Amino acid sequence: MVVYKLESVGSGIDRLGWTYAGLVDGGYDMDSRVHLDDIEPDGDWFEGLSDKDRSVVEAIAKNRRDDRMDLYTIDFDHDLGVRDLTDPFTGELV
């Protein structure tokens, strides 16, 4: 599982929108995750995001919205599986 580091808020986020508190050793508390949908949009966490970290969060949120739309529409020219997410730091698909 890929977890993107969000330095500005001391946490990480995976491609499914789960956030994890950062640990002193550089890892993440994988037992205490919180989903983006459960974080107050006008709260301290979102307010604390740097522009760089905000772009990561927005890319993940957009990808999730697009995936949910696929549940309600059928596009036979598109693979209906989970879409690949472009890593905002390297430009590679993850």
Q: What is the pLDDT of residues 20-40, one digit of tens each?
A: 999 999 999 999 999 999 999
**Do the domain assignments include residue 8?**
yes
Confidence of residue 82 (pLDDT cuts 50, 70, 90): very low
**Do the domain assignments include residue 78?**
no
**Do the domain assignments include residue 27?**
yes
Q: Which amino acid is at 17?
A: G
**Do the domain assignments include residue 79?**
no
Average pLDDT, the chain: 81
Rounded to an integer, the average pLDDT of 62-90 is: 56
Domain count for the chain? 1
pTM: 0.69
**Using one digit for the tens of pLDDT, what is the confidence trace for 52-72?**
999 999 999 988 776 665 544
Q: What are the phi and psi torsion angles at 14 (to 5°)?
A: -100, 175
**Do the domain assignments include residue 50?**
yes
**Do the domain assignments include residue 83?**
no
**Do the domain assignments include residue 75?**
no
Find the distance separating the first CA and the last CA of the chain, reported in whole Å: 10
| 3-class DSSP state of 57 | helix
